[in-house]
Each structure stands twice: as C-alpha cells, then as structure tokens.
Amino acid sequence: EAKKRGGNAVCWYSEKLDEGLGYKVALRTQIQEALAKKQFELFYQPIMTSTGQISGAEALIRWHHPTKGYVSPADFIPIAERTGQIIQISEWVLRQACQDLSELKRYGINTVSVNFSPIQFYRDDFISKTKSVLEEFNIKPGEITVEITENVLVNDTQRIAELLQHLRELGLDVAIDDFGSGFASLRYLNVLPVNKLKIDRSFIENIDHNRHNAAITGGILNMVEHLGIQTVAEGVETENEYRYLVEHGCPLMQGFLFCKPKPLGELLVWAERQQSLENES
C-alpha cells in the first residue's frame, strides 16, 4: 500500500480514513485539531539536474497523526478540499515552505516547489493572501514554484490563465504537475503562462524499454524545448530510466532513485553528504 502511493520508509496508516458513521464530521474535527496542534509537517524531495546537482526541492505535506502515524496527503487532501479546510492547510504549507527556504538556501538549495489546490483558485483573496506571505518572507523571483495539476486547467481556462499571470507577476514560477495524466493537452502550454512542466511518473516508468512511454516523453521534451519551459521527469526509480532521460535531453528529474521525501533536517543532512561526494569526484 505504501509503495503504491509513493510512500516513504515510514509506516502509513493503511485503513480507510473515511470509514464509519459521521466520518466527515469526525475528520473535519480532526483536521481542525491537526492545524491547531501543529500535526502537519512538510517533507522535502530534491529535484535533480541531469548532471546530478540539486536544483531545488518539492514540499510534500504529511499529517503526523497522534495515533495513526504518518498519514498520506492522498488520504486527507481530498477530504480537506471537500470541507474547505484546504484553504487553511495551503496557507500553512506556503508559510512553512517560505520559512524552510532560508534554511535550504544555506545548503545551496535555492528554490522550493509547493502544491496548490484548485479550490484555492476560487477564493477572491487568493492573490492578495499569496502576495502578503511572499512579502512577509521577502521571497525573491524564482525562489518559489507553484505546482498545479493539469486537471485544474481544463475548466475555465481563461480565468485560470489570468490568475496564473498574477502569480507570475508576484515572481512565482508556475509548473503543471502530473502532465499527461488527465485530459489537459499541449494546447494549454500555448495559452497558459506556465514555465515548468512535470511529466507524470506513469510515462517515466520503464521508459528505457517501453516504446509508448519513450515516444510520449520524447515528444514532450522536443516540443517544450522551444517554448522556454523547463521539464521535470517525475518518479525516476531506476538507473536505466535515469540514463535514458539524460540521453534524451531531460534537464531535471525527481524520484526515489535520488532520494525519497524526507523531513527537512534529514534532507539537509542528505544534501550536505551529496555535495561533499560531488566535491570529491
């Protein structure tokens, strides 16, 4: 179960969180408590250049539940989206990531990616709230990337394009996450002000011998090169996948091959060791 969801060495809560009578009420209360008692935590996974340097890190939320251990975002983000609590959670994520960035920068990691929920885009104060957090932490252009899944882009494209433009004007980079997994198309790359694209990990799996995946990923890489969009391959797990991607010009990669998502402190230890290995060679 943990593996399937791209989990970590930690033990995931594997029962269904939403079982039982009145589960939604119970969960709403528990999420409220989690916010109040600071049970949310950001893990970080490095994003690597094709030459093996650390280019940045993605913040991935975990719920350190008092009795259930680490709960996966896949288990509570959808519920928080339904209850509207995602707004508070997202605000916490952005502030925490901005705060952690100063620590990461001391280890040469100068950009952090955060995942935004589609729900946020429908709030009137979305841009002004985001702006005030960026100002509070004195964030400079290019330091924070906002990741949005491609499904967000399908409805109301014009409106979303305007909001993304506002985010860009605040100095944020904007990435389309899980590209290719849903119904978005290449057309969006022309009309939306995005400057990064993350190829869904289903296309990276076995890319070295799956011709279908190789063709799709190759096509994306070729096209995007001329649009000034940076591409990240997600879910790189094997040496062979890595080598294939390097040979085919993929500039950035992320996956368990390099490093699993880790608590900030552990990531910094990993980064330091990585950098000293690099200096030796």
Q: Is residue 100 near Mg ion by the rule CB under 5 A? A: no
User: Please, what is the minimum distance in Å from the beta carbon of residue 45 to ligand C2E?
Assistant: 6
Closest to ligand C2E by CB, 115 or 130: 115
Position with the least CB separation from ligand C2E: 6
Q: At residue 40, what are phi and psi to the nearest 5 degrees?
A: -85, 150
Is the dihedral angle over the CA atoms 227, 135, 119, 11 positive or is it negative? positive
**Residue 117 binds which of ligand C2E, Mg ion, none (CB < 5-8 A, kind-dependent):** ligand C2E
Closest to ligand C2E by CB, 21 or 59: 59
Amino acid at residue number 121 = F
Q: Is residue 147 near Mg ion by the rule CB under 5 A? A: yes
User: Please, what is the minimum distance in Å from the beta carbon of residue 237 to ligand C2E?
Assistant: 4
User: Please, what is the minimum distance in Å from the beta carbon of residue 5 to Mg ion?
Assistant: 10
Q: Is residue 75 near Mg ion by the rule CB under 5 A? A: no
d(CA 50, CA 243): 9
User: Please, what is the minimum distance in Å from the beta carbon of residue 29 to Mg ion?
Assistant: 27
Which range binds Mg ion by CB under 5 A, 12-20, 111-119, 206-214, 268-276? 111-119
Binding positions for ligand C2E, rule: CB under 6 A: 5-6, 45, 60-61, 72-74, 77, 90, 93, 115, 117, 147, 177-178, 201, 235-237, 254-256, 261
User: Please, what is the minimum distance in Å from the beta carbon of residue 199 to Mg ion?
Assistant: 9
Q: In whole angstroms, how far apart are CA 227 and each of 1, 86, 189?
A: 38, 33, 8
CB-count exposure of residue 133 (10 Å: 0-12, 13-18, 19+) = middle
Name every residue whose Cβ is closer than 8 Å to that of residue 108 and which is 6 or more positions away in sequence: 54, 271, 275
Is the dihedral angle over the CA atoms 177, 233, 95, 16 positive or is it negative? positive
d(CA 12, CA 68): 8
